[in-house]
Chain A
Amino acid sequence: MQELLLQALYSGVLVGGIYALIGLGLALAFGTMRVINLAHGELVLLAAYVAYTMESAYGLNPLLSLPVAAIVTAAASATVYFLVSRIRRNRELNSLMLTFALGVILTNGILLIWKSDIRSTSTSFMQDAVQFGSVYSMNSELGAFVVSVFVAIALWYWLSRSWYGRAVRAVSSNRDAAKLMGINPAKVEVVSFLVAGLLAAVAGTAIYSSGVISPPLGHALTVKAFIITVLAGVGSVPGVLLAALLLGVAEALTVTFFSSALQELSGMVLFLVVLFVLPNGLFGGQKRRG
């Protein structure tokens, strides 16, 4: 019993690391542009399929396909930005439906190109087990977690120390004031979508290395990313990280102690409870949504 619990907590934390990258990407784009990119999970899946193609066609280790995946998802993310920025009227609702449509396009495009089969990595090193005390994981799961934490720290560093990172935060908190300080919001928005695309590339490669992928996964990842940003409240990197770990653990506990069919239910219930009981999120500040 205790071993099961430990194992569930461990697996949940590991997968939570990947969720954090996806959630951060969504939160970043939402911060600067006030747009929920409902195609974000599909971008992550796109990166995963790029890794699959590189591995199956050229025998590349998924990690080595990261640069290609990064270029593809950054370009796709920038395309999402340019389309959304064309919307003039009622941007909040229209951008929601536009990115939803882009997600449908991406999912079905992936379905057309890569078919509906379930894919997973064939690199055996990725699937080898690694043990700490009584808990196990695959090499790739542990690796993905470590990489995710490093990327999250790098992102936090970029946001708090670099000029562009500060500009992103400035535009997020007050667009007009940022403009007066000589920041071009459009440029900052592009940068935030590009960085979101890079995060998606890392997350997608990690998902492909440590699990299975199929076309419907993208939509599920979008929903998870949204749940995380709701749990985290007004975006801060540590808040998103904690919320992602919480979601990962909640899912792992549900799978271990109830049934794997209920995995998604746990996230949904967590989401609704937090929305209704703590509308500012678990780690949110003053702002209310509603």
Chain B
Amino acid sequence: MQKRMIVALALLYVVVPVLLNGNNYILSLLVSSLIVAGMAVSWALLGNLGGMVSFGHAAFFGIGGYASALLVTKLGLPVMVAIPAGGVAAVLASVFMLPALRLSGPYFALAILAYAHIFKILATEFSSLTGGSAGLSSIPGLPDIFGFNLSSRLGAYFVVVSLVLVFCWVYGRIRRSDYGTALRAMHDSEDATRVVGVNSLMLKSWMLFVSAFMGGLIGAFNAHVINFLEPDYAFNSAWSVLPIVAAIFGGYRTVYGPAIGAVVIYLVDQLVFKEIMSTGHQLILGAVLAGMILFAPDGLMRLFKRKPREARNAHA
């Protein structure tokens, strides 16, 4: 496991940059796919650990982006301070969502969707602050650090790949901790878990906050990479749909599944599906999601893992 980890890190931090340096198109696709990966980890954390399926993660993405962009352009905060502040803003927004934690299943999913709509409408209507539907343009990019230009494609790649890895690490840590055990127990019976003294509402709130922070952080990072925001883009339902497809595709019960699923799905979508049909290529994403839920609800990572074990059993 340790060895595999080192290989993966070497691949991500050395091989990929060396191979792709200069190929800006592929690099920017990779950065976008890793942004989706960050959203997928954020979604999976809430969906798997918290047991709450959200249809409105675009809310966190959009709020993080807007908060960070406004802090930089209106208050002159440094970009590297504003990006985490975007995450904090998403957490503050998620405080308004706390009543939704009482709900379960479809009621929670659609309550979050309602919040995403409401935030989108607010971003459109508060045009004095947000620029309305015209949006915010010329948002400053990432700064230079130690002479290395983070706003280059390669710089953005290093930042986002580190963010996604940290997200996965946090996700894994929470899952292995006592909180993770309690959250897993809550899936089987929330009432029984409460009886043994677990404050389930508190735990769910924390999962919502962590998930919101991740979503906001990634949204803020994205705003400084593309230097432009408008409500239709920042709160686009694609930011809610893609992470779900990615997480289900990769296996949202695993730690790295959502991130890997996101990179695969996004790159295949952009490089293959979009070439085949320029409009409506989300159709294939929908088909992938439906197919995964019907035939492999545990995701592709599980399929790969199961195969060797079955082969071994066959020999024995």
Contact = CB atoms under 8 A, between A and B. Distances in A.
Interface string A266-287: 0011011001100100000000
A173 B109 CA distance: 24
A261 B293 contact: no
Given A265-B117, A290-B102, A102 B297 contact: no
Given A96-B105, A96-B106, A112 B289 contact: no
Given A100-B55, A265-B121, A105 B286 contact: yes
Residue from the set A93, A100, A112, A264 with the largest chain B CB neighbour count within 10 Å: A100
Contacts of A83: 290, 294
B117 A290 contact: no
Contacts of B115: 272
B149 interface: no
B303 to A, nearest CB: 16
In terms of DSSP, what is the predominant structure of the interface of chain A? helix
Contacts of A230: 107
Contacts of A103: 286
B107 A111 contact: no
A273 B287 CA distance: 34
B117 A105 contact: no
A265 B115 CA distance: 10
B271 to A, nearest CB: 19
Given A92-B105, A93-B105, A289-B107, A116 B290 contact: no
A109 B279 CA distance: 10
A90 B188 CA distance: 11
Contacts of A202: none
B279 A112 contact: yes
Given A89-B297, A92-B106, A104 B117 contact: no
A161 interface: no
Interface in A166-204: none
A264 B121 contact: yes
A21 interface: no
A112 B287 CA distance: 15
A40 B119 CA distance: 25
A162 B212 CA distance: 50
Contacts, number: 115
B279 A116 contact: yes
A289 B293 contact: no
A104 B110 contact: no
B119 to A, nearest CB: 10
Given A96-B106, A261-B125, A276-B99, A104 B280 contact: no
Contacts of B81: none
Nearest to A92: B105
Interface in B36-56: 53, 55
A111 B124 CA distance: 25
Contacts of B102: 276, 279, 290
B285 interface: yes
Interface in A46-98: 83, 86-87, 89-90, 92-94, 96-98
B106 A112 contact: no
Interface in B104-144: 104-107, 109-111, 113-115, 117-118, 121, 124-125
A270 to B, nearest CB: 10
B280 A111 contact: yes
A103 B297 CA distance: 18
A272 B297 CA distance: 30
A36 interface: yes
A101 interface: yes
A86 B111 CA distance: 27
A87 B115 CA distance: 29
B248 interface: yes
Contacts of A87: 293-294, 297
Nearest to B247: A97
Contacts of B118: 265, 268-269, 272
A105 B280 CA distance: 9
B123 to A, nearest CB: 12
A264 to B, nearest CB: 6
Contacts of B104: 289-290
A290 B293 contact: no
A100 B280 CA distance: 16
23 contacts: A36-B106, A89-B297, A96-B53, A98-B289, A100-B55, A101-B293, A102-B286, A108-B280, A108-B281, A111-B280, A112-B280, A112-B283, A223-B113, A226-B106, A261-B124, A268-B117, A272-B100, A272-B111, A272-B118, A276-B102, A289-B103, A290-B103, A290-B107
Interface of B: 53, 55, 99-100, 102-107, 109-111, 113-115, 117-118, 121, 124-125, 237, 241, 244-245, 248, 277, 279-283, 285-287, 289-290, 293-294, 297
Given A116-B279, A272-B111, A272-B118, 11 more contacts: A36-B106, A86-B294, A93-B53, A94-B297, A97-B293, A101-B289, A108-B283, A223-B110, A223-B117, A268-B118, A272-B115
